[in-house]
Amino acid sequence: NAGVTQTPKFRILKIGQSMTLQCTQDMNHNYMYWYRQDPGMGLKLIYYSVGAGITDKGEVPNGYNVSRSTTEDFPLRLELAAPSQTSVYFCASSFDRGLGNEQFFGPGTRLTVL
Amino acid sequence: KQEVTQIPAALSVPEGENLVLNCSFTDSAIYNLQWFRQDPGKGLTSLLLIQSSQREQTSGRLNASLDKSSGRSTLYIAASQPGDSATYLCAAGGGATNKLIFGTGTLLAVQP
């Protein structure tokens, strides 16, 4: 299993540009998450999904959109990039919620908005 | 609202020393507590997950404990090695969707 994969690894955007961060998992996990990590900080939840066709906002959803058309894929869309969105973005997945559930993380996408 | 705090923010120890990293959380209604390792410029590697019904978990030189009543978890690293140098993050999982609330991490440097 490749686990959780993310593309691209790095990207530089100009203010106002748009882009989609891709996330794919091959573990047949129902739950998927997008987090952002600012320098020296912990991760904050942007959006999450509990299954295909179901998404919901996390702590910091403004400026982002997501979709979940398949179990495997959970892309994150930035519509009008702003410098405040400069961050490292991590996608994660887990099989289900519950006591023993474990989240697995992708390698991250490092985004700079200039 | 769940808040997770990690102390200290940074720690430097000589090789071979045993050490403890601390994690505290404000809401004891958690499903689990997960510890991660993050190397510079890299993603997160899951180290240990403790279910809310458990008191501790062990993996090799790592031992994590959980005390829900006091809102604390500790990660014990035995016989530290330079290769253990990294940032260690704890995260509290809870709610209907197992959302993780992260601490800001402890940056560990093990000096050879």
Chain pair A-B, CB pairs under 8 angstroms: 73
B4 interfaces chain A, CB cutoff of 8 Å = yes
Taking CA atoms, A82 is separated from A15, A18, A39, in Å, by 5, 10, 17
Cβ neighbourhood burial of A87 (10 Å; 0-12, 13-18, 19+): buried
What 3-state DSSP class applies to A84? helix
Higher-scoring residue by pLDDT: A102, A106: A106
Q: Which of A58, A102, A107 sits opposite B99 (nearest CB)?
A: A58
Structure tokens at B1: 């609202």
A89-100 mean pLDDT: 80
Residue recorded with tokens 């062990």? B58
Q: Is the pLDDT of residue B98 over 80?
A: no
pLDDT computed for residue B23 by the predictor:
97
Q: Give CA B109 to chain center in angstroms.
A: 15
Q: Considering chain B, what percentage of its residues have pLDDT values greater than 90?
A: 79
Choose the closest CB to B34 out of A33, A44, A103: A103
> Band of the pLDDT at A98, cuts 50, 70, 90?
low
Q: Which of B1, B44, B45, B90 to mutate to test the interface with A (most CBs of A within 10 A)?
A: B44
> Which comes out higher in pLDDT, residue B51 or B25?
B25
Distance between CA atoms of B86 and B105, rounded to whole angstroms? 10
DSSP structural state of residue B83: G
Report the residue from A40, A41, A94 with minimal CB separation from B98.
Answer: A94
Residue of A nearest to B97 (CA): A97
Query: What percentage of chain A carries pLDDT values higher than 90?
Result: 82
pLDDT band at B40 (very low <50, low <70, confident <90, very high): confident
Q: In whole angstroms, what is the distance from residue B27 CA to residue B71 CA?
A: 7
Q: Which pair of tokens denotes residue B107? A: 């940056």
Chain B residue closest in CA terms to A6: B43
Which residues of chain A does B53 touch, with a Cβ-Cβ cutoff of 8 Å?
Answer: 99
Residue A101's pLDDT is what?
77
> Cα angle at B82 between B39 and A90, to 5 degrees?
10
pLDDT exceeds 60 at position B64: yes
Q: CA A45 to CA A94: how far, in whole Å?
A: 14
pLDDT digits (tens, 9 = 90+) for A16-42: 999 999 999 999 999 999 999 998 788
* Mean pLDDT computed over B81-93: 95
User: What pLDDT digit, counting tens, does each position of A75-85 carry?
Assistant: 999 989 999 99
Separation of CA B9 from chain center: 12
User: Is B21 a residue whose pLDDT tops 70?
Assistant: yes
Choose the mutation target among A21, A25, A36, A43 for the interface with B, i.e. most B CBs under 10 Å.
A43
Mean pLDDT of chain A: 92
Phi, psi of B4 (to 5 degrees): -120, 130
- B94, B102 Cβ separation under 8 angstroms: no
Q: Name the more confident of B42 and B90.
A: B90
Of A97, A110, A112, which to mutate for an interface test with B (greatest number of B Cβ within 10 Å)? A97
